[in-house]
Chain A
């Protein structure tokens, strides 16, 4: 993950500013083959970095190369990279298959029909491929966009929040697909603002906070550092008090605050354990759960904590 010549993606001293607003400040990193997570809270500068990596905008300062080549004003590089932007815009007049076929035609593939079929199958969109994309769910839109991004079998994939809007089953399929691609030697950079998503996907992470690279390297080492700070999870349930009394006995739970609106806020340093424990306790005691959500503010505070260190 250090900046060196062997990285497939190389970012060196990159800054990006819009007028007086600094979106990214002097960021340097390298991305090797495999899956790398670009993690950070909303507004951390992840999308700005990915935009520059995709050649959609140029850095105000610094250099970016992908597979050893500059990206901006270098259209030939797109034969080797696939990009899935954050927004889920699609051409509403096209079917899913036509959208992928459109991408394939622009790559000038030798056997486009085979490539289209493979990409659609890999994304799990065979059954919906002939429907207009205008009628797709968010998860389907994500999957057909992934199919279009990888129809030309690129060496490097840049995916901005690819798991956003997918349901748990689709998320698992997505993750397995990306792992399979990574096993084939590809370089995959995946951004997310949700720690748990990246935890299950990437071995190495780049952590961005407030436009700066706060940490980079092995996920577990950074996770251990993150775990020193507590997370907050909000749980909504009509029987919040009963659930709270059960949870407070668990050693993973630091504290529980029952709010007046039928919800409670749990503070924990072991988020994934607590997220698994809550449904099992609720099932045991016949408690109905309405919602479980990690508080984004809490994540941001964790990211900030890493920066302060």
Chain B
């Protein structure tokens, strides 16, 4: 499994356009926060600033976009360039292939988001170990859930369609539906991510109080999403005609 994981890391990090988009997307919240701070932003931690940086930009937009770019590429690129057969025609279980690909997605996506989130937190004067750990844990959890979802998406359809459907999902499900309907938050990765930040440090992220669900509900949601979509990926890889 290690060989597939390492190769997948190289593939995901080696796509220059994808990596550039990912780094730009990851750097965007930091740049926006930096500009806001430089041009008369708040001194000391400010609820509105944190809400905007995390609740409007990083968690609902940047997190799913980066996870989508990496997740759909994990299998999607191998299907497009027809190298997937080099993996499936080896004495390795399909589960190990899916797991290696998925872990590579998480390993590439997670650090970019965590660095971005912690940098924004520092610009928002949220210094200290507790808020940084909360941000890192929550963004990692969001990556775990989105990574599984988009890895599966890259297996079931062409990458172009997966990206299109992914954008619609991010806008309609994660943005509109879970923003308008409270019950939908139990099925929203963004809400789980914010809930984990709040649940792990409710003092620093008190501004999310009205939009979060319970910490355990969020952890359960992330776990179910990861297991469900890894399982669906496994079923798909077993049944599909490999090009």
Contacts and interface: CB of A to CB of B under 8 A. Distances in A.
Which of B4, B7, B10, B92: most chain A CB closer than 10 A?
Answer: B7
Interface in A80-98: 83, 85, 87, 89-91, 93-94
B91 A87 contact: no
Nearest to A104: B3
Contact of A106 (B92, B241, B243): B92
A51 B82 CA distance: 13
Given A56-B241, A89-B83, A78 B89 contact: yes
Contacts of B82: 85, 87, 89
Contact of A76 (B83, B85, B87, B91): B91
Nearest to A74: B91
Interface in B21-67: none
A105 interface: yes
Contacts of A79: 91
Given A91-B7, A91-B11, A106 B91 contact: yes
B3 A108 contact: no
A107 B91 CA distance: 6
Interface residue tally of chain A, by bracket? 20 to 34
A73 interface: yes
A91 B4 contact: no
Contact of B3 (A57, A89, A102): A102
A54 B4 CA distance: 20
A114 interface: no
Interface residues of B, number: 24
A37 interface: no
Nearest to A57: B241
Interface in A27-78: 51, 54-58, 73, 75-78
Nearest to A58: B241
A103 interface: yes
Contacts of A55: 88-89
A85 B91 contact: no
A78 B92 CA distance: 9
Contacts of B10: 93
B9 to A, nearest CB: 10
B236 interface: no
B242 interface: yes
A91 B83 contact: yes
Nearest to B87: A106
Contact of A51 (B4, B91, B241): B241
B93 interface: yes
B79 to A, nearest CB: 11
Contact of B14 (A87, A93, A105): A93
A36 B85 CA distance: 23
A103 B10 CA distance: 16
B91 A56 contact: no
B242 A105 contact: no
B89 A83 contact: yes
B130 interface: no
Contact of B91 (A58, A75, A91, A102): A75
A106 B4 contact: yes
A108 B241 contact: no
Interface in A134-179: 148
B89 A56 contact: yes
Across the A-B interface, the 9 shortest Cβ-Cβ residue pairs: A57-B241, A106-B90, A105-B3, A56-B242, A89-B82, A78-B91, A87-B82, A79-B91, A89-B83
11 contacts: A54-B89, A56-B89, A57-B241, A58-B241, A91-B7, A93-B10, A93-B11, A102-B3, A105-B3, A106-B87, A148-B86
Interface of A: 51, 54-58, 73, 75-79, 83, 85, 87, 89-91, 93-94, 102-103, 105-108, 148
Interface of B: 2-4, 7, 10-11, 14, 81-83, 85-94, 238, 241-243
